[in-house]
Amino acid sequence: MQTNDRVSPQVPSTARYHKVQIKAWTDFDPTTMDLKQMADNIEHGHGSITAIEVVKVVDTLAAVDDIEVRERFETLQAVDRIMQNVDAIPKALLEKLLEQLISGGDDKSKVQAA
């Protein structure tokens, strides 16, 4: 049996997943911002982190009980594998992938028809 040495998951076998709760006080409305904007504001003196608590740790991705979070990690791992093996992707499929990346994934009908 022949193996492909280039195909290897990016996530180490010892990866653990941490559910984290962060508590803070701010002088801005964080509901209007993404995490980076909030962190930038706090870094510039507009808030204070008061607690960082790890509320759950699991040893495998399958043990993450939030399906949306688990699917996001699975997607990120798939992207990592694609990037590691981009030279092995057939040209026509790579072109379709590039089209989707450029369009922001707005034209799903072309991908589904393929």
Same domain, 80 and 57: no
Angle value at C-alpha 89, between 85 and 90, nearest 5 degrees: 165
pLDDT at site 15? 80
Nearest of 10, 14, 15 to residue 85 by alpha carbon: 10
What gap in Å lies between CA 17 and CA 51, rounded to an integer? Answer: 19
- Judge if 82 and 103 occupy the same domain: yes
Is the entire prediction scored with pTM above 0.75?
A: no
The per-residue pLDDT for 52 is 96
Contacts 24+ apart (CB under 8 A), 91-96: none
Q: Mean pLDDT for each consecutive 10-residue tract of the chain (114 residues)?
A: 42 78 96 96 97 96 96 94 92 92 72 48
- Do 26 and 41 share a structural domain? yes
Considering the domain architecture, whether residues 52 and 71 belong to the same structural domain is answered as: no
Q: pLDDT at position 104, please?
A: 87
Provide the strand spans (E) within the chain.
17-26, 47-58
Number of domains in the chain: 2
* Domain, as residue range, for 28: 15-61
User: Is residue 35 domain-resident?
Assistant: yes
CA 24 to CA 51: how far, in whole Å? 7
Instruction: Note whether residue 7 is domain-resident.
Output: no
* Side-chain-facing half-sphere of 29: CA atoms under 13 Å: 2
